[in-house]
Amino acid sequence: MTKRIKCSELGVKDCDAVVSGETAGDVVAEVVNHLRAEHDIDMPDADVILKGEVTEDPLDVVDPAVALIVERLTEALSLSPLERPTVPRPSIGRTTPR
Residue 4 pairs in a beta bridge with 20
The pLDDT of residue 27? 95
What are the average pLDDT values for consecutive 10-residue runs of the chain, which has 98 residues? 91 92 93 95 91 66 84 88 52 55
Residue 19 pairs in a beta bridge with 5
Whether pTM > 0.85 for this model: the answer is: no
Q: What is the 3-state secondary structure (H, E, C) of the chain?
A: CCEEEEHHHHCCCCCCCEEEECCHHHHHHHHHHHHHHHHCCCCCCHHHHHCCCCCCCCCCCCCHHHHHHHHHHHHHCCCCCCCCCCCCCCCCCCCCCC
